[in-house]
Structure 1
Amino acid sequence: MNHQLVDVNTAQSFLPKVSVVIPFYNSEADLPDLLSCLLLQTYPKEQVEYLLVDNNSSDHTLSILQKTAGDSPIAIRPLSENNIQSSYAARNTGIKAATGEIIAFTDADCRPQCQWLNTLIQPFINSEVVIVAGEIVALPGTSLLEKFAAQQETLSQKHTLAHKFCPYGQTANLAIRHHTFTKSGLFRPYLTTGGDADICWRILNANLGKLEFVTDAIVKHRNRVTTKELASQWRRYGRSNRYLHELHGIELTREIKTKEYIYILLRWLLKEVPTISINNIIGQASFQDLLSTPLGLFTSRERSLGQRKAKLPENAKIIESL
């Protein structure tokens, strides 16, 4: 019992300096809600700096960031990355300017909950831990596509942490020890997708330390609203598969053949639709349950298209140094 008390007290006193790096691109609409979330963080304000990196926005993002920095009760440092159009290049700019022992990452369209930093940082009390991933959950949505994605837990870290090649965390909710970058290198600045997996795999495969997952370090993220946005999301996942295949040799995602599409759709029409329709009438199923199969086929097709058409740019192999 006394041992447990010591552990709790030790955890409460473990408050390293944290640098939160957030890339921005034409994000003025997201800024008010995001900044509100940062202001509500329960981690001691004097122990956190927020490095908000504008990535050559064409709207008022940078000017809003600069104005906010002057008026804010928290330490906001607006930065710019105008040379390379990539969120990973922007993150590198933030890492280079960071003074914290721990670098935490999230995105402009994310909503970190008030205990986010407190819970995300605690596993670093173990010196062997170099990467910590928190959970990503969906913001409440009203559209069919948002409800479908929430039901599928599309954004959850559970999927990436279960990757059969090697686990990784998404930068929407991730923290890495600062000194780790001196050995692993930074993000690949010219990579446009897949950089989250790449940085984690380089760190873990070099045996620089362990990865931990904290389910109650929560960041909320909105799901896609339109089919165009959904298609773009899943094509990006496909491109990521292709890039990581070329960089790390992972297996490509198997594409569903035309005959399989036809079989799955026929099974859906003849078996699932009648059953789900009856369950819907008696209140045991929802409309998004009815469309789960065709939407799943749609996202699989888009991912396959992204994977098939992607070609890794030669400069994406470059790893920047700290």
Structure 2
Amino acid sequence: MLISIIIPHLNQEDHLRVGLEALHAQRGVTSDVEIIVVDNGSARLPDKICSAWPDVQLLLERIPGPGPARNRGIREARGRILAFIDADCRADSGWLSAIETALTDGTTTIIGGDVRVGYEHPSRPTFLEPYESIYSYRNNEHIAEGFSGTGNLATLRSVLAKVGPFAGIEVAEDRDWGLRARAAGYAIRYVPEMIVFHPARKTFAELRRKWDRHIAHDYERIRPQRLGALRFLARAIAVAGSPIFELKTVVSSPRVSGSYQRILALLCLIAIRLYRGGRMVGVLLRGDGRQISGEWNRTQPARQEPAAVD
């Protein structure tokens, strides 16, 4: 059996190198493995990084967005099992083994795993790392809602053939695909042993950009509904005032340790929730979230594309 790993990439060479090293250090997997990296408009192609391993194929996808990049990889993949991970994620050494075990039991068809924040310096957490450890990448909760983040997702090729491809940057493609799969009768199973580590964002501006995209997607989804604008306004007010109800979570979360990390998490939580509430009101007043939804791929400097790369 063959497992195809598909990785969308955009200007993340250092992370990609670490991620590929982790994928080549997997333990316990018995299937053959192919790795497909799909570049989505980087300023410089990661061809030198990919060529270091004979089982890594580098492709190009010019339609912006991680969804179209994954679709390009799917078209070239040969595996019965398709595994998705992001370029800035590092797979735990048992990631592929967990995928193989779950998807060969004869009953499971779609799985998602645990996404954890990897601290750059565990003894010196940044302002964002404790917050993101608690509040970001809670994939078990997403799966309970019917979808998995596409940075840690695996399924059978036969399922993708029935559910269809991933959407573009105009929607949250992981939620969209997962809910379409559920509507088609498939259940997504959470596999806690299927672990990937995601770096925390470096700056508060990066965290704001993440929420800008989510706010835009949510607005475009809620706006056409009955009393959509009023519901969105109520949600904005609730978000801004929500940190007071999160004290128990911050104090008791097993994802952080020590009072210092918990204080950092609380301060960052207050800052981002106030930002989100204000941003939601701003989007509502403008009446259009689409202008901030296309953040995956911006105009990049022109570059040479080697003829050997498809």
* TM-score, length-scaled by structure 1: 0.73
Q: Which has the higher contact order (CA 8 A, sep 6+)?
A: 2
Say which SS state the counterpart of residue 224 (structure 1) adopts.
Answer: coil
Q: Deviations over 1:227-258 (max 9, x none)?
A: 21111011111123245558999x89744588
Q: CA RMSD in A?
A: 3.4
Q: Secondary structure at the match of 2:160?
A: helix
Query: How far apart, in 1, do the equivalents of 2:103 and 2:34 lie?
Result: 18
Provide the residue aligned with 1:47 in structure 2: 32
Structure 1 vs Structure 2: percent identity of aligned residues? 24
**Distance in 2 of aligned mates of 1:133 and 1:312:** 30
Instruction: Name the residue aligned to 1:161.
Output: 143
Q: Does the Cα contact within 8 Å between 2:8 and 2:69 map onto a contact in 1? A: yes
Gap change, CA 1:210 and 1:116, over 3 Å in 2: same
**More divergent stretch after superposition (298-307 vs 36-45):** 298-307
Q: Name the SS of the counterpart of 1:143 in structure 2.
A: coil
> Residue deviations 1:269-288, cap 9 Å, x none?
xxx9xxx9xxxxxx856432
**Mapped contact 2:240–2:273 kept (Cα < 8 A):** no
CA gap of 1:178–1:109, structure 2 versus 1, over 3 A, is same
How many residues align? The count is 272
Give the alignment of 1:1-322 within 5 angstroms. Answer: 16-44=1-29, 47-61=32-46, 63-65=47-49, 68-69=50-51, 71-72=52-53, 75-82=55-62, 84-141=63-120, 142-150=125-133, 152-163=134-145, 167-188=146-167, 190-207=168-185, 209-245=186-222, 254-255=232-233, 286-288=262-264, 290-291=266-267, 292-302=269-279, 309-311=288-290
Task: Tell whether the 8 Å contact from 1:231 to 1:302 is kept in structure 2 after alignment.
Answer: no
Q: Structure 1 residues 153, 54: closer, same or farther in 2, change over 3 A?
A: same
Bigger radius of gyration, 1 or 2?
1
Q: Please state whether the residue corresponding to 2:128 is helix, strand or coil.
A: helix
Which consecutive residues of structure 1, in runs of 5 or more, have no partner in the other structure?
A: 1-15, 277-282, 314-322
Q: Contact 2:91–2:197 (CA<8 Å) still a contact in 1? A: yes
Tell me how far 1:259 sits from its aligned partner.
7.4
Give secondary structure in 2 for the equivalent of 1:309: coil
CA deviation after TM superposition for structure 1 residue 204, in Å? 1.4
Alpha carbons of structure 1 residues 153 and 206: separation in structure 2 relative to 1, 3 Å? same
Q: CA deviation at 1:193?
A: 4.2
Amino acid at match of 1:233: K
